[in-house]
Structure 1
């Protein structure tokens, strides 16, 4: 009896481990943790691959809740990215528990064929996607230097093979004025909250002139402590997004002028703090996107047509930074959340439901079988290996 194909073997591994993968998804979902504090989730994500014999490197890139788990010694190094951070107040409303479990399933499946296909499987635990840019930091630290291709799957309301995203940067603007009694001596105060108001009015007027694809949204994080005290300090946090990084840079310049206007109008001092790396837009590898699309259809899913997905950028992700440097893919696996979308409470509830459990299994199968196709297609295998060698011969990202 002939041996099963590598594609069928990886699918069989995922289906055999389905109960373990779903249990992992539910365990992470039950204990949501925020950016750079995902200690329990990080440990949970390592457990199954550690049992399989993966070599674990903890605190990858110097980040406490990052890790890298390697299996095999082949020249084609495949990075499988696992996210596991949650959202403040909303838990796993972005379904990162599904991402982590699907990534583990992909890694376990590829380990089964690593020797036959000349693979090294690298499961990458990447913290702080929602805020902090874990992948960008790991990229800068060299964690991806030997990786030829990187993959991950993200849940969402629809199936999207070649998902795209918006470039993003986030800043906190601090205004420094001078406190004074609001009734006795208001003329001696310098109102930092007024600086925030002027900046927000300027931003509101700017919106009419924003270029297509540019978005801004923010919150006031400090607006004073007592109504009878002129606020001496105030702060806002704003996110800026655009379809491409060049457009984002243009938007930043205009937003920074609005922040400066608040200070100028009120006499405050101000400082702009960009604590996390900017996120680049996703640049999906076209060959891998087509392979994922085929696998989605094979599993009975209905991914959006390429013409539609190209005009449907999602939010923003630090996986965009990775795909700007090396071939990668970030497909969206559909989850039925009753019409809810990511970052809504109903999606958080659905992320541990039956549709989400199917997404864990299907996501792992789609990724694993797509990588097998890549490894078994000489021209594509040579392409990604050659690109990786070019990166190694040049300067580190």
Structure 2
């Protein structure tokens, strides 16, 4: 699987509030054999122990619990928890909670996993081991520890302007099983669940999800999202049947425009590398990474598909331009066995240019300081010569 195929999900009419546009996804028939519920956490910081002995540290507000049946019969969803706020007199404190693994089986037919953090951990682990060959340019830290520690920044949905209000006031469709979130018409993320009851229970969790820097900045711009209004030629309408047919054509045209243009970068514009994480009976939990093209939007995420290839669950995160560049550089380095000269040639630049690109991307610590100093001096010399008009004859 290298594409995200939302077959079985229909695109509904969008709703806008400020700069936020929510596009509902509805199922004609829900996937009854898999259900999702939320498990709330109260801790400020969570440390997740990974299988390779490393740890993932982040703010983790909740987990999802997937419940499935082996024979495909419907499964009842567990209700979410209601918790009282702490009293105002409670002392300020930061709690740290340790969790075992990103995805952990908690019962025979129940799996607890951390939404989006499963995908982000896959991105942070991208070529995490660093150089496999001890090329002279790499620092001892890079050769010994690779990219450890590896960190990225994200924003919660509560920081994205208008998102909280939009989620609170927007209508949920009766058969809605998902949504695509846009901020200033930039696709921020996708969220799909198996059943309409799951979506109603988890709709509000979108404000606790993580969003990239670009999405946060677009929210600050407060550019109102434009409404797409339907236009019907009244000269062709002679009856209610004609009006109904015209309305259906407009809905189909909107869905086609949305799926191919607005959501094209997620649904058809990239080729994804899917990595299986866990088998849930007839279902498989995946996480995916993009090709890190510098010319397209890049999304990471996770999905659950059934044995027929249908997407039952999907959650995606749009990388910022800086995060895409970092993924691109790491991918190109790994493709050339971390050889700076060969990688630079593949990128159409020289070794010094690549070294300085690595420094600007936040990977300068991977190179020896004297090597970086040499390339910095070369760059200063080129700039100085470019600004020298030369001597008069």
Name whichever structure is richer in helix by fraction. 1
TM-score calculated relative to the size of structure 2: 0.23
Q: TM-score, normalised by structure 1?
A: 0.23
RCO higher in structure (CA 8 A, sep ≥6): 1
Q: Find the structure with the greater CA-based Rg.
A: 2
More strand by share: 2
